Structures are given as C-alpha cells and as structure tokens.
Structure 1
Amino acid sequence: MNWSQLPLGTLQTNCYVLSNSEKECIIFDPGAEGDRLMEWLHANELSPLAVLLTHAHFDHIGAVEDVRNAFHIPVYLHVEEKDWLMNPSLNGSEFFHMGRVSAAPADRILTNEEEIQIGNFQFKLFHTPGHSPGSISYYYERGQAVFSGDVLFRGSIGRTDLPRGSRDQLIESIHRHLLSLPEETIVLPGHGPATSIIEEMESNPFLNGF
C-alpha cells in the first residue's frame, strides 16, 4: 500500500491519496486547495478513480468539485449526509466564517455497512456516527489501515458539539468498529498524525476505562 497525507486548508484537514503500482488512486476528503492537490496528483502521475468522503463537514469537501470536474470521477458519501454537500448550513461553512462551501450532490450514496470495490481497491465500510450522523470509516484490510475521518485521532476523539453530534454514539462507534480491528491497524485521521489501534487502546484518555 502507498498512501500519502496532504494537510489542506486553514484547518489543515488531512486529504489522503491511496495509490497502487498501476498509478491509480483513491482520494479521501479533498478539503481545500484544489489547485495544489491536482498539481500534486499530476506531478506524481496518478490517475484518480474516485473520491471517498468520510463525512461532509466543510473542511473535508472544499476541493470536491475541483477534483471531480478535473478527472470526471464519482464522489461517495453516506446517505445520512446526502444533502450536506449542497447546503452550507448543514456542512457548517455558513457558521465558521471561512466562506460558504458547497458542491453538487454525491454520485454514489452509501446506505449500508458493506464492502465496495473500486478498481483493485477494496474497502470495508463502517458507519461510525457521533462526530456527524453520516461519518464513515473506510477499512483497507489489504494495507492494514483505516481512514477514520474525524472519529478517532491520536490521543483524542472527534468533537461532538456540532449539529447531530453525540459523544455516547461516537464512543460506541469507536469501540464497536475501530477498536475491534487488528491491533496493528494504522489509523489515518482527518487531522493530525497517524496512529494505530493498539496505541489508542493503550493510551487514549477518552477511551480508557469505558
């Protein structure tokens, strides 16, 4: 597995690019700076196959249209947030005074915890609400990694004070889906450095003693 982390935008939201030996790639959460992201993709001679969104908060979707229009690829999003891309009041950009963010609807609406195949990339989907109602964690078993969005961070968890957030639901999501993964699984969060399941099991103060 070859993944790259690109912190983008004012909030330094992690966009991840997962690529294979054929130079095909999947883009996770293109949050901002579309020109910079596309320049990086072209410089690395990568051919994107799809955009996978962990959720639709504004700092994770700001460059969706740039990437979708440039490469003519589908955008995947959970049904619970199917209206958020188009609506600045739902995706939060209206309230954070960083400019209104909107995009066209997602091309693929995800409704179940399932497996999806895109090219030769295969992911197990875990619906992990709590930070937002449609948060999805994408488990890439072949690469022993999970793209967790704003659900789980190194030494922390996602904020739950935003609309339709729930701390209890978030903790349940983490324990049910993420901490049940193999201990060596790499956690690739929406902000900050990568971590691992075993590291968070042993040292995350928000999870210990639950």
Structure 2
Amino acid sequence: MEIIKKVVGLLGANCYIIRNETEAVVIDPGGNPELIYPVIGRRKLLYIINTHGHYDHIGANNDLKSRYDTKLACHRDEYQVLVNPELNLSEMVEMPFISVMPDILL
C-alpha cells in the first residue's frame, strides 16, 4: 500500500490517493482530475472521501464519479455543503460548484 499526495485546485489543496496494486481511494479531490487519473491508473476506485465540503476539497468529485463506478462519502453534517455554492464557498470565487450527492454519510 502507498499514499500519494497531489497538490490540486485553485488553492493548492492536498489530495491523497491511497492505493495498492488493484484498488484506490481518493481523499479530498479538490480539482485537477487530470493529475489524479494517472495515479489511479487501472485500479478500481473504491471511494472518494471528502473531509469537508469546501470547494477546494470537492472540485473533482463530479469528474471522478462520472469516470469511475465509485461511491462518494462525507460526514453527515457536510452533505448539504457539497451541493450549496454559498456554503461550499465556490460562489465566493465566482465559480459556483455543486457536487454530486454523497452515497455514504459517515
């Protein structure tokens, strides 16, 4: 198993990909999915996990979710933040973003 850090998105958020030979998990995909795809490679993406709902941590949720057959997980208190540009602060940078709904509430 290895943990790979990628710096992604407008604010340079840390995105972590935990992977082994066959599977991967992505934590806080804040943007730049093109930097994340090669790290996943041909592995099965088991989960996307958001530690919280700010736009710099969720920016690639939709891209990853549409590319891979995977599940999105976040804390139950954060799911409304994902889908509200005012709460996820994307409205503040004039790039309103609405994430796909989470599949799993932690």
Question: Quick check: 2:53–2:78 contact (8 Å CA) kept in 1?
Answer: yes
Where does the alignment leave 5 or more consecutive residues of structure 1 unmatched?
111-210
Structure index of larger Rg? 1
State the identity as a percent. 31
Q: Deviations over 1:149-198 (max 9, x none)?
A: xxxxxxxxxxxxxxxxxxxxxxxxxxxxxxxxxxxxxxxxxxxxxxxxxx
Question: Quick check: 2:45–2:69 contact (8 Å CA) kept in 1?
Answer: no
* 1:108 correspondence with 2:104: yes
The alignment's TM-score, normalised by the length of structure 1, stands at 0.48
Amino acid at match of 2:44: S
- Alignment match, 2:32: 33
- Three-state SS of the structure 2 residue aligned to 1:100 is coil
- Alignment match, 2:73: 76
Q: How far apart, CA to CA, are the structure 2 residues paired with 1:92 and 1:74?
A: 23
Amino acid at match of 1:6: K
For the aligned residue pairs, the C-alpha RMSD in angstroms reads: 1.3
Where does the alignment leave 5 or more consecutive residues of structure 2 unmatched?
none
Amino acid at match of 2:64: V
Shift of residue 37, structure 1, vs aligned partner? 1.7
- Three-state SS of the structure 1 residue aligned to 2:91 is coil
The alignment covers a number of residue pairs equal to 106
The alignment's TM-score, normalised by the length of structure 2, stands at 0.91
- Three-state SS of the structure 1 residue aligned to 2:81 is coil
Question: Quick check: 2:74–2:102 contact (8 Å CA) kept in 1?
Answer: yes
Q: How far apart, CA to CA, are the structure 1 residues paired with 2:9 and 2:48?
A: 17
- Alignment match, 2:17: 17
Q: How far apart, CA to CA, are the structure 1 residues paired with 2:58 and 2:23?
A: 21
Change (3 A) 1:19 1:39: closer
